[in-house]
């Protein structure tokens, strides 16, 4: 997980996971356009108080937010957002517990996974499949 300040381009309260498009500016002034999903489904978010109307009202296009992002293992500007904060540091949407997030605001590309990261994830998935078969 890593954090960055971003601007909401679109927030879609859809199944199976709400999706968000956002932009961020790197330290060289280049704008990056990202696509992401939130960690929980709309039903769970609504039970936690994050109804469609509330989420859409707080995440209008142009809203500046701090995001806790997990980049897709495939890399690129895709990922999962597990927490969204307003400029006061208050949670707007929190879909999963966030631990050890690294501040990568302004770092071009944010966190991009390495080949070692992808291999580790593949090995972990193979272990999980093996455990499930036993």
pLDDT in tens, 59-99: 999 999 999 999 998 889 999 998 899 999 988 877 667 77
CA atoms within 13 A on the CB side of 78: 5
Lookup: tokens for 78: 């895709």
pLDDT in tens, 24-34: 999 999 999 99
What pLDDT score was predicted for residue 62? Answer: 98
**Are 61 and 54 in contact, with CB atoms under 8 Å apart?**
no
CA distances from 105 to 22, 42, 48 (A): 14, 28, 28
CA distance 104 to 2: 6
- Full-model pTM: 0.83
Per-residue pLDDT at 127 exceeds 80: no
Does residue 16 have a cis bond before it (omega within 30 degrees)? Answer: yes
> Which has the higher per-residue pLDDT, 134 or 71?
71
What pLDDT score was predicted for residue 48? Answer: 80
> What structural domains and CATH numbers belong to the chain?
2-133 (2.40.50.140)
Least confident of 45-49, 90-94, 127-131: 127-131
The average pLDDT across 4-11 equals: 97
């Amino acid at each position: 997980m890593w954090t960055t300040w971003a601007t909401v381009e679109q927030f879609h309260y859809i199944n199976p996971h709400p999706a968000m498009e956002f932009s961020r500016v790197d330290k060289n002034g280049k704008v990056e356009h990202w696509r992401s999903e939130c960690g929980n489904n709309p039903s769970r978010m609504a039970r936690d108080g994050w109804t469609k109307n509330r989420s859409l009202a707080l995440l209008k296009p142009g809203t500046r937010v701090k995001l806790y992002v997990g980049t897709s293992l495939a890399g690129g500007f895709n990922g999962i957002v597990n927490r969204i904060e307003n400029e006061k540091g208050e949670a707007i949407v929190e879909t999963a517990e966030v631990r050890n997030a690294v501040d990568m605001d302004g770092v071009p590309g944010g966190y991009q996974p390495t080949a070692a990261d992808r291999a580790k994830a593949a090995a972990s998935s193979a272990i999980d499949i093996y455990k499930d078969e036993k």
